[in-house]
Structure 1
Amino acid sequence: MLSWMVWTTPVAVFFAAVVVMLIGMTIWETRTPTLMRKGFLPIATTRGDRLFIGLMCAAWINLAWVGLGEKIQSWLQLAEEPSIWISAGASALVLLLIMRRG
């Protein structure tokens, strides 16, 4: 059924993290309903809005990293493409920034 997708460790970790975040946000929302607030984003957002925006940014960062991997390798004259874990860490930091300050 899922044989068309390459299930590497980073992919599995990403999807597991998304599931954990959605479960956590659901529990958090039932305990303390969210209020709209304005951060550095140009719109007033709720926690769910910020999670969605943060996940989209994380996906774009990871896609850009994968797409530019060979170019980064040649620019920095590396023996192999840089690890996907670097983009996963950058994505996590961007997501945390958006959730906290967005």
Structure 2
Amino acid sequence: MEWMAWTWPTALFFIIIASILVVFTILAIKFQETPRHGVLGMETTRGDRLFITLLGSAFINLAWLGIIGANQPFALIVCLIYAAAVFRWV
């Protein structure tokens, strides 16, 4: 871990993101993706919704860090609610 001065939480974060990408790739291969129209009126696939979720979660965490500063695990709860909303309605 010292070759990039990473901490275990940082490495775990990237391992989880890589695992999610692998799972979504397998899902895309096994099950045909059908674009759907959501609240925004644009067609999205599973991968699009994952990207929107990851991008939005990054902004939620940055805003949480800037406004509240501490208790970052509570930001994870907000991100999970946001992800559920994106995959349900976008």
Counterpart of 1:43 in structure 2 is 42
TM (norm. structure 1) is: 0.73
Q: Which of the residues 76, 80, 89 maps onto 2:77?
A: 89
Displacement of 1:93 in angstroms is 1.5
Identity %: 31
1:34 is paired with a residue of what secondary structure? coil
State the Cα deviation string for residues 23-51 of structure 1 (Å, max 9, x = none).
Answer: 11111101012111101133111111111
* Structure 2 gaps, min length 5: none
Give the number of the structure with larger relative contact order, counting CA–CA contacts within 8 Å between residues 6 or more apart: 1
1:28 is paired with a residue of what secondary structure? helix
1:12, 1:88 → 2: CA distance? Answer: 17
Bigger strand share: 2
Asked if residue 98 in structure 1 is aligned to residue 67 in structure 2, the reply is no
Q: Which of the residues 2, 5, 16 maps onto 2:4?
A: 2
Asked which structure has the greater CA Rg, the reply is 1
- What letter corresponds to residue 51 of structure 1 in structure 2? L
Paired positions, count: 88
After superposition, the CA RMSD in angstroms is 1.9
